[in-house]
Structure formats: C-alpha cells, structure tokens
Amino acid sequence: MYDYTDFDEAFVRARVAQFTDQVERRLDGSLSEDEFRPLRLMNGLYLQLHAYMLRVAIPYGTLSPAKLRQLAWIADTYDKGYGHFTTRQNIQFNWPKLPDVPAILSALADVGMHAIQTSGNCVRNVTADHFAGAAADEVADPRPYAELLRQWSTDHPEFQFLPRKFKIAITGASADRAVTAAHDIGLRIVRNEAGETGFQVLVGGGLGRTPMVGMVVRDFLPEADLLPYVEAVLSIYNVIGRRDNKYKARIKITLHETGKPEITRMIEERFAELRPLFGGADQALFRDIQAAFAPPVLRDAPVAAFDAAYKADPAFRAFVDTNVAPHRHPDHAIVTISLKAHGETPGDATSDQMRLVADLAERHGHGDIRVSHEQNLILPHVHKSDLPALHAALKSAGLATANVGLLSDIIACPGMDYCSLATARSIPVAQEIAQRFKELDLEHEIGPLKLKISGCINACGHHHVGHIGILGLDRAGVENYQITLGGDGTGDMVIGDKTGPGFAYDQVTGAVERILRAYLALREAPEETFLQAFRRVGMEPFKTALYGEGERDAA
C-alpha cells in the first residue's frame, strides 16, 4: 500500500486548514450557501435531503486495518455508527454536522486519507479491480498505475474545472471486474506479442442519462506512455467538451458528436506534443510506487482443515462456493465479505463490523482490505486453512451471508432516502426483493445474477449493466420503476434493453419474481445462467411473463 510522503502530508493538512477557515466563515455568515457550495464540494461535502454527506476517497478501493478502524471511529464519533460503501469504491457518511467536518478531515489525514476530488468537475477517484494483486487471471497488478494516476491528477491545475466530472478505471486481469467500458477512460493491462506490458485504452464510456459503451482508441499503449496519453485525452476533452449543456458535457457525448476517427486523431496529435515533455520523472516515480505494492509473503501450510470443514459444514460450504474466488497461489483464497445481508441496506457497514474486518485482515489477510464497486469488502490474501475460523468470526457479526454474485447481492444507490437528486426509493426496493427471494429459497436455484437499482437517471446503481436493471423515476409525482434486461458490465459490456411500461413501487418485487420464474421455466439446463438464457431466447418470453399476451404487444 502506498504511504504518504512528507509532501502528501503537508498538502492534505493545508487543505484541511483551508477548509476549516471556510467552514468557520460559513457558520458566522461571512459566506453564503451559494458561495460555500463550490468550496465544500471541492472537499467532498454534499448537502443531501436531510443532512450533509461527506464522501471519503478510498483510492482504487484499497484499505489498511488502521484506515478502516479510523473510518469506524469517525462513524461512531461524528455520524450514526455506520458508513456506506459506494460503487466508486469510496465511503460516505450520511449524517455529519457541518461544524464537525474539519475535525473529520483532520482525523482522516491522521491515517493518510482525505475527501479531495470526490466531487466536482475533476478527475474523481481512480477505481480498479478489487482482486488486484491476488487474482489467478491477472496480467499485472493495476494498483501502482492507479496510484500514479491519482498523484498526477490530484490538484492538477489544468483539470480542476473540466466540462464535467471525469472517471478512470483500470483492470489488470482477463476478467474485467472494474467495468472499464463504463468509464470516461478505461484502461486494460495487456501484453503484446513481444511480451511487453501496456494498455488497451477505451474512451467515452458512461451510464447516466445517455448510457454508452467506451470505444477503443488504442489497442496497445506502452506502459511508459500512460501519463502523457491520459493527459492528451483530458486536454482534448477540456478544450472541445460541451460547457453549454451539463447533460451533454461528458466526454462520451464529445466523442459521439466528434466521431471516433476525428477524436482519436486529435488525441494522437496532442499525445505527440506532450510525450517529449515527460522526461522520465514519471517513470522514476512509478518505480518507487511499485515498490510499495510488493506482494505479501504467502505461507506454505497444509489445507486439510479447509477440506474437512468444507465436507462437514453445509453453511461453510455455501459460503466458500459463493464468496470465495481463486487466488494466484492455489493454497490461498480471495474472500468477499457481503454487505448485502437480506433485508439490510446494500453497502452499509456498522462501525463494529468495520473493526471486525480490520481485525480479521490483520489475523488472516496480511493487513489488506479492498472495497469493490459492487459495495462489498474483500480480503484478498487468506490461506485456505484460515477460512473456517474466518467464516465463524464473520458469522458472529452477521457478515457471512453466502450470496456474492446471486440475486440479493444487489447494487443500490441511496435513492430518495438520502439523495437530493433521486426521484424514487432504491434501498427499500432492494430490501424487499432480497427478503422475498430468501423466503422463496430460490436464490441458489436461480444462480449467478446481477441485479442493480438506481433511484434516478444518473444511474449511480449501474442499472444499465444489470442482468436485471431497475430505474426509479417520478411520473406525475408517483414513483415508477422501469425494468431493463440483458445488461452486462464485464469486458464485453452491454446496455440492457427496456422491457416496456414501468411498475409502481409495490409491483416491482412481483415483476422481478415473474421474470425469474420465466427464466427457470425456459432455461435448457441448471448450468444455463439468466444472462445466457436471455441471450438465447430474447426479450419476448420475459415481456409475456411481465405484461401478459395482450399487453406484451403494446409494450
């Protein structure tokens, strides 16, 4: 993990002092809310429906036990005893009081954390594969590159006032667990025929009001060219991006309006101008960063305890089958800790749960913790012999829900319970769906399924790329939920198709049940997943299940 230098420490402390003064002036009336708004947003502080919300950066989703314990302490001291992990691999505190925010930022600085650039028209938190450095299918660990991008983009003078917010994601594995095609820039680490490491570069992805799949503008970018090429993309966007209409301000619209051939030409011309200006200091910095991400020394030990528990304990076996992924070392495992217990708020963790995960990471996981864009926590380096004890500890804290990748492992934005932009509730819909299918005991029968819910068109719940996506809208003052099917957020990203007319709040769970009962009836074998079945048979059988024969044609 990257550790702050003296420069980093001084920079963050200066920002805390600056914002402390700004808060004091807001409280004494020297600053109006309109004057204060851009200042607080530069420090990750939003004004939501009921209270302020502070969004804290967790770069590329990597946490240490000390950082997670500090987040738990902040939740207890300044919030309501919990935090909400987001699809940007960040954490949000939903109830801080304005006078307390400087103290929170100071407490974050104590452990090398901050809330800088978690809002605003700038480069946001760089996200990465949550299995980075551990996955069996990994080409290279993406986190050092993400850290290089973080240092380069933080307070970059040219890119603090972009036409719109800008998001970068990077993956280093054959399986894309970072949804790179849904980002303004998506980076996929690849190797060319000579065995050299580089990047496939995608530009112009994004969800929200106008969902688009990112386009490949470079099949292979040499590793040493990363910063000048990303700077070229951003500088072209900064010049030609729309500033007259915020709904058309993202780079995806710029690319669509300009055309891929022309914008690629402009990027390459700008890259040719910038490349000579990077004299090697970036590569020297990258080598230092790489050293901070040296893999842990993994122990060799028997796995007999794991084998015995797997055979003897059905609950443990179910947990392993759903929540454990292959590690690059065959005696180790990657463990996903679900924050999706049935009936709970997806992505929420209490302070006690955070402290327990921190303890378990030290005891069993080399002090390494990750946050996934799917709103779960991960211990990426656990010896298989430790899995039974880990499972028992998680079970005692309500964190052993065996549902990762299943129906109730729902991505959901905060929706109208918190967000001032939301047009419908998300959390209660997710809770009701999870509870219904727990009662029906159908989750494991249904198998792998990505269900994602957004409470407004901004799509923070990634509903466009859900196998089943649910979008809550306001129709004449009434919540109405639109359903899409067939979305996919992996390497070959697909935007889901609308089924037809939306459903009232109290009809959504029943609609999802009809869709999934139709799937169970038409699949050719238990191994055929929902997404595979949908691609085979198309939309029509599901429209029939949802609307009936008469209304299907109208839909």
Structure tokens at 213: 């799949």
- The set of residues, in sequence order, having a beta carbon less than 8 Å from that of 230 and lying 6+ positions away, is 149, 152, 168, 185
Q: Specify the DSSP class assigned to residue 223.
A: G
H or E, element range at 266: helix 260-274
Instruction: Specify the pLDDT at position 549.
Output: 76
The 3-class secondary structure across 147-159, one letter per residue, is HHHHHHHCCCCCC
DSSP bridge pairs for 335: 324, 379
DSSP bridge pairs for 135: 327
Cα separation of 333 and 327, whole Å? 5
Return per-residue pLDDT of the chain as tens, 555 residues.
Answer: 899 999 999 999 999 999 999 999 999 999 999 999 999 999 999 999 999 999 999 999 999 999 999 999 999 999 999 999 999 999 999 999 999 999 999 999 999 999 999 999 999 999 999 999 999 999 999 999 999 999 999 999 999 999 999 999 999 999 999 999 999 999 999 999 999 999 999 999 999 999 999 999 999 999 999 999 999 999 999 999 999 999 999 999 999 999 999 999 999 999 999 999 999 999 999 999 999 999 999 999 999 999 999 999 999 999 999 999 999 999 999 999 999 999 999 999 999 999 999 999 999 999 999 999 999 999 999 999 999 999 999 999 999 999 999 999 999 999 999 999 999 999 999 999 999 999 999 999 999 999 999 999 999 999 999 999 999 999 999 999 999 999 999 999 999 999 999 999 999 999 999 999 999 999 999 999 999 999 999 999 999 999 997 555 555
H or E, element range at 22: helix 6-27
Instruction: Specify the pLDDT at position 553.
Output: 52
DSSP bridge pairs for 295: none
Instruction: Specify the pLDDT at position 181.
Output: 98
Cα separation of 246 and 249, whole Å? 5
Closest C-alpha among 104, 107, 154, 106 to residue 126: 154
DSSP bridge pairs for 200: 188
